[in-house]
Amino acid sequence: MMRIVSFLVALLISSEAVAQSTSYPAGAIPFTASASGTTAAVTATITAVANKTAIICGFYYAGSNATAAQSGVVTITGITGGTMSYAFPTLALGATVPNTVPIDEAFLPCIPATGTNTAIAVAGPALGSGAPVATVTVWGYYQ
């Protein structure tokens, strides 16, 4: 009987540790931000909050093809370590050609802004004439 109780206690402790490691830290304020558009650049911004540090945990960018092929760059600014860049080419002929694969990034560990009260922006490129949609979504928390 004592062995079963010890096992159950160990299981409870380990499940609490797993739950804590997959959730936000104590005092965190989760956020999401999104933007969408067509042929122009789109930017989702984690706004600056007084006395808080924005921390980005991931982003998703998807864009449709344009009538003319064009390359662009998705950038993340305002983060510790400097700007991060991801190439995103579009393909010509709009919907008749398979779309470029979306960029879906999760950061582990999450990346903080360069300081308190600092915004983080994820900007997707202008896709060009004939592109029907572009979206960018970012998520993380304030600490």
Contact between 106 and 113 (Cβ < 8 Å): no
Confidence tier at 22 by pLDDT (50, 70, 90): low
Q: What is the pLDDT of residues 72-89, one digit of tens each?
A: 899 999 999 999 999 887
Q: What is the DSSP letter of 126?
A: P
Confidence tier at 66 by pLDDT (50, 70, 90): confident
The whole model's pTM is what?
Answer: 0.77
25-142 folds as Jelly Rolls (2.60.120)
- Other residues' Cβ atoms within 10 Å of the Cβ of residue 70: 19
Q: Is the pLDDT higher at 69 or at 141?
A: 141
C-alpha–C-alpha distance, residues 125 and 120, integer Å: 16
Residue 13 above 60 pLDDT? Answer: no
